[in-house]
Amino acid sequence: MTTYLSTFTAGLGVPARRALEERLPGVRIELELDGLIVYEAGGETAAICNLPFFNNSFVVLKTFPGLRPERGKEILDEMLAATLRDADLPRSIPGRLKGTFRLVTAWSNVLTAVDRDLLEKVEARIAASGPPGRLRPHRGRPAHELWLSYRSEGHGFLLLRLTRHTAYEKVLEKGELRPELAWMLCWLSEPREGELVLDPFCGSGAIPLLRASRVAQFPRGLVLASDLDAAQVEKLKTRVKHADLRRRVVVRQGDARHLSRYEDGSIHKIVTDPPWGIFRELEEGPETFYREVLAELGRVLAPGGLLVILLARPDFPLPLPITLEVVESWPILVSGKKAVVHKLRKPPGTAGVPPAC
């Protein structure tokens, strides 16, 4: 068994644990903090790297017990000094590591500068942990990263970074959800084979594209994507075509308050991320807008169906229609901004669930 540390969207600790236990049977949870989980798991490391709901994952090489919570940034220098004195450090470094590396220091999830001389001494000690020349410090673009990380709850770690995701700010459109969060929203909808899934605020298409393309992770179904913005709709149609997903995603222009093309109770699941800024749809105020949206989504949702919605107003009281009830809610942080995920259900009624497509 190997001990790992993974990070995820802050606030989604309960769903992240459920998803981890579902995908890695036999996993043993050691520590849960906001946006972070430490766990033991067997099997190949590749299985950890491929967990789609984590932002980053690491192997835990060393822990620092007895740290007081809410320490200042000087705690990193103390942790460096303790690492330098640690007689067991050479045995902590995996023998398979070869090539260049650098040591990264982070305080409360923020990359933080430390005493440079002390940092270089620790890097030299790590380099000397194996045969000469096996590991070499390199501050530019190394093959491996070791992290010395302190959390404000009083936990410190020496970590080996496993995952290195794309710089999302370079590849995602403005306002587009990160794949890890989009995956979690889709997973919370309890996907099933052959269902109709609707995203009435599809925007750039993060949710529809992920739900339709991750066939190894989600059951097949037909995703219906719509948005009031004609330009966004045309761009998403192009992305769907290039991804060869036209049989799995149908893109149309439409107003989420007026989904007249869909019959009552015709949609199995709705997963969506409404606009975050000041939009023309909100001219009458957010209460009116969301009352109309939720009433229409409640109309088209099948009895027993689920609606997972991400809102940028965590303190906003949902104007729920009688057709919807709250299952669970999670206040979260998205790019440092407060938001909330609501999971809503349409109570089962006398009408049957629409047939699978």
| Domains in the chain: ranges and CATH | 2-161 (3.30.2130.30), 173-345 (3.40.50.150)
Q: Is the pLDDT of residue 278 over 70?
A: no
Return the DSSP state at 172. S
Q: What would the DSSP string read from start to end of 114-168?
A: --HHHHHHHHHHHHTTSSTTSEEE-SSS-SEEEEEEEETTTEEEEEEE------H
* Average pLDDT rounded to a whole number, residues 331-349: 92
Q: Is the pLDDT of residue 249 over 90?
A: yes
* Average pLDDT rounded to a whole number, residues 250-254: 96
Q: Is the pLDDT of residue 280 over 70?
A: no
With tokens 């995203």, the residue in question is: 199
Q: How far apart (Å, rounded) are the C-alpha atoms in residues 344 and 281?
A: 22
Per-residue model confidence as pLDDT tens digits over 59-116: 999 999 889 999 999 999 999 999 999 999 988 999 889 999 999 999 998 999 999 9
**What confidence score (pLDDT) does residue 317 get?**
83
Per-residue model confidence as pLDDT tens digits over 283-339: 667 788 889 999 999 999 999 999 999 998 777 788 899 999 999 999 999 888 899
Q: How far apart (Å, rounded) are the C-alpha atoms in residues 242 and 77?
A: 50
* Average pLDDT rounded to a whole number, residues 223-239: 95
* pLDDT band (50, 70, 90) for residue 5: very high
Q: Is the pLDDT of residue 222 over 90?
A: yes
**What confidence score (pLDDT) does residue 350 get?**
39
Tokens (6 digits) for 31: 């520590």
Q: Share the mean pLDDT of the chain.
A: 91
The model carries a pTM of: 0.91
3-class DSSP state for residue 18? Answer: helix
Per-residue model confidence as pLDDT tens digits over 14-49: 999 999 999 999 999 999 999 999 999 998 899 999
Amino acid at 348: P
Which residues have C-beta within 8 Å of that of residue 181, sequence separation ≥ 6? Answer: 9, 310, 334
Q: How far apart (Å, rounded) are the C-alpha atoms in residues 101 and 139?
A: 8
Cβ 62 vs Cβ 89: under 8 Å: yes
Strands of 337-345's sheet in order across: 249-253, 221-227, 195-199, 267-272, 301-311, 337-345, 325-334
Q: What would the DSSP string read from start to end of 286-343?
A: HHHHHHHHHHHHHHHEEEEEEEEEEES-TTPPP---TT-EEEEEEEEEETTEEEEEEE
